[in-house]
Amino acid sequence: MFNVDKEKCIGCTKCMKDCPVNDIFIENKKANIKNQACMKCGHCVAVCSTMAISTDDYNMDDVVEYEKESFEVESENLLNFIKFRRSVRSFKDKEIEKEKIEKIIEAGRFTQTATNSQDVSYTVVTNKIEPLKELAFESLNKKGEYILNNLTPETEYLKRYATLWTNFYKAYKEDPIKNDRLFFNAPVVIIVTANNEFNGAIASSNMNLMVDALGLGTFYSGFLKIASENNKEILDLIEIKDNQKIAACMVVGYPNVKYKRTAPRKEAEINWI
């Protein structure tokens, strides 16, 4: 629960005004938290003038005091950083340090979630990456063969992908290293899961930015996500719980390519109302 140190509290009302569920009231010029409607978002901790509010639900060592020098990012730099990032599919034969993987996950952990559910989980695949790769190629091949053998006017648009998957599988079987068109011999796959898939998606977006900030590269593998759908062997291997949905599959490694500039994009479609 969330608690108020009455000796530190100055009754400034900031916590009460910022509480999204109106769970705080002022009595005798001191803040009081009912802990009834509280969804443990921590806004009260973050806004308090005197650090009078704490909780035993989370690790308070995570709380960092704001300092402009280490917190602020210039908007133009941030926009250029976003423009410059690329999906990487060429990786060096180099392991990723554990502390870097943990920092990527921290970027996901501190991403906002609907109703502060914090329902996002992370599976880091390193030691089992080869069996995962094998199962994924087999799954896509089976899906591809099924589509090609049962084409209808409604599924004709899938023919392109089905052909791609079956060809990928054949090439992989001929040379698993040279023809790894699924993971591209990257050393790490991070699978982001959540009860609410949207929460996992926005967490993985922040993780993507951290990947680049750490000098690493990644791409979202939609093919691995498709391969995992209704595939018990894959889901058991990566230990996905029944109530979890795969939001993103991030293939991560040290990039073996250097980009010199940003890439062009079509104009934004904006409807000003």
Over residues 67-93, the pLDDT tens digits come to: 999 999 999 999 999 999 999 999 999
Domain boundary among 12, 41, 62: 62
Instruction: Judge if 233 and 98 occupy the same domain.
Output: yes
Name the pTM for this structure.
0.93
pLDDT in tens, 13-46: 999 999 999 999 999 999 999 999 999 999 999 9
**What's the total number of domains in the chain?**
2
Please tell me whether residues 166 and 227 are part of one structural domain. Answer: yes
- The pLDDT score that the predictor gives to residue 243 is 82
Report if residue 67 sits inside a domain: no
Domain that holds residue 247: 74-273
Query: Would residue 22 count as lying in a domain?
Result: yes
Check whether residue 55 and residue 116 sit in a common domain.
no
Q: Are strands 188-194 and 120-125 parallel, antiparallel or unpaired?
A: antiparallel
Inform me whether the pLDDT recorded for 241 exceeds 90: no
Alpha helices in the chain (DSSP H): 14-18, 43-47, 68-71, 75-84, 98-109, 129-149, 159-174, 197-213, 222-228, 232-237
Domain membership of residue 47 (yes or no) is yes
Residues 12 and 93 in one domain: no
Q: Identify whether residues 228 and 193 lie together within a single domain.
A: yes
Q: What is the CATH number of the domain that holds 30?
A: 3.30.70.20
80 in the same domain as 52: no
- For residues 142-147, give the mean pLDDT: 97
* Domain edge (last residue) among 31, 62, 93: 62
